Amino acid sequence: MKTGYVRVLSFIMTVCMLCITAACGKTADEDAWLAGAALDKEETADELYEKALKEDVLVVYTVSTRATRTKEAFEKLYPGLCVEIRDLRSPNLVEEVEENYKNGLTDCDVIICNDNSGQFKERIVDTGIAYPYLPSDIAEKMKDPGSNDMGSFTYEAEMLFYNSGLFDECPIENIWELADECYEGRIYMPNPLHSFSTYAFCGGVFEYSDELTCAYTDLYGMEPDTGDEGIAEYFWKSVSKNIVYTNSSDEVLEALGSGAADFGIMVSSKLRFMDLGYDMAPVYDLEPFCGCRISFCAMIARNSDNINTAKLFIRFLYGETDGNIDGYRPFCTEGTWSVRTDIPDGSEVPLDEIDLFVPDQDYMIQNREYFEDFWAGILESKW
């Protein structure tokens, strides 16, 4: 067991050292910060708390409002510590963190972001602007610790939902059916250029040309005639005719709730709103896929002035050593899946029983310019 988390710590330190070596123009002060941060040091929660009491307010940049509940529970458990939550959309969060770093500001301590689109990895992690922190006593309880260089603390999905108030069961079995004329203006989806998770799904589809082709042939009984276009381009142009683009998953949720939408593509954590009476249901079985897996990560911003509080907060967010701390509970709801072996999933249906793919972040990074141009053209034609 011990070998596992020693390997994780070695991996994290390797990432840190590579970032130092690769990052151009790093000052001696910045290198001193990384050494002083001691991200591989064995420290208990009590030891961190004692040192954190001498620090200032912890500032958390987050794309999830659920972090507010973690803040409240954290401040209750650790009297004297204060946390400020700043809720930002994914693209804005990345821009803010980049700007802070370029301007030498230490305005952000902890970053909570989703990323399978590759932007957070490319612009924040690979550049050494943020670092993962995974204490050994928690690392040994992770399902897949060796691949946690992004500091993932929960899994979700960007996936298809249908309106359960209009349909007793999902009316389609094949994703190509979303292109049918009867669904014109009845499919809602966030603008992929405004949402990392939607972008991950929209771009990740391009990796699955064979699956898309087979699904088309199964549905229509013939090979697709895409002309000079690739099958993924043809798919999205066909389906986009029926899509209403929104600014966020919240607007997709409201469209389903109001009956304006037959289908919605949004983040799976919105499933928790079913308890509030929203007429929606997830699509778990769809040929060839119903969405993609995404993850939420928690990282420490380089040059944080409150490193001990940051470490303590991330420990709390992960669920501490015993897995029963309130910090993890806000992120352990219907539509989420645990990264730990000792904390059950928030969802009854396991991830491996859902037709999801996992986007390749390097693929997304390599093809970013093409994807952004493609989607800009799609959106321009809609507006």
pLDDT in tens, 72-98: 999 999 999 999 999 998 889 999 999
CATH superfamily, domain 156-292+355-382, is Periplasmic binding protein-like II (3.40.190.10)
Predicted local confidence at residue 114, as pLDDT? 84
pTM across the whole model:
0.86
Nearest to 291 by CA among 276, 261, 318, 271: 271
CATH code 3.90.1150.10 for 2-154+294-352: no
Q: How far apart are CA 56 and CA 58, in angstroms?
A: 6
pLDDT of residue 325: 82
**Spatial distance between the Cα atoms of 109 and 114, rounded to a whole number of angstroms:** 17
Return the DSSP state at 26: -
Q: Which of left, alpha, beta for 267 (phi over 0: left; psi -120 to 50: alpha)?
A: beta
Query: Do 299 and 111 meet the contact criterion of CB atoms below 8 Å apart?
Result: yes
The residue whose two tokens read 């980049």 is 98
Closest Cα partner for 41 from 13, 19, 2? 13
3-state helix, strand, coil in the chain (%, to 5): 45, 15, 35
> pLDDT by residue (tens digit) across 187-234?
999 999 999 999 999 999 999 999 999 999 999 999 999 999 999 999
In whole angstroms, what is the distance from residue 296 CA to residue 151 CA? 8
DSSP codes joined into one string, 79-124: TT--EEEEE--HHHHHHHHHHHHHTT----SEEEEE-SSSHHIIII
Q: What six digits make up the tokens of 92?
A: 């804005």
Q: Give every residue of the chain whose pLDDT is below 50, as ranges.
A: 1-25
- Can you give the pLDDT at residue 12? 47
CA–CA separation, 33 vs 246, rounded Å? Answer: 41
Sketch the domain layout of the chain as residue ranges: 2-154+294-352, 156-292+355-382
Beta carbons within 10 angstroms of residue 223's beta carbon: 9
pLDDT at 147: 59
Mean pLDDT, rounded, of the chain:
90
Is the bond leading into 190 cis (omega within 30 degrees of zero)?
Answer: no
Half-sphere exposure of 27 (CA within 13 A, CB side): 8
The neighbour count for residue 25, using CB atoms within 10 Å, is 5
3-state secondary structure of 153: strand
Handedness of CA 292, 337, 12, 300 (dihedral sign): positive
Q: What's residue 5's pLDDT?
A: 41
Do 2-154+294-352 and 156-292+355-382 show the same overall fold? Answer: yes
Give the model's pLDDT for residue 27. Answer: 56
Where helices occur in the chain by DSSP H, the ranges are 2-22, 28-37, 45-52, 67-77, 90-102, 119-120, 136-139, 196-204, 209-220, 231-240, 249-258, 307-318, 361-366, 368-382
Nearest to 101 by CA among 113, 93, 89: 93
- Predicted confidence at residue 381, as pLDDT, reads 87
Report d(CA 48, CA 315) in Å as an integer. Answer: 10
Name the residue type at position 31. D
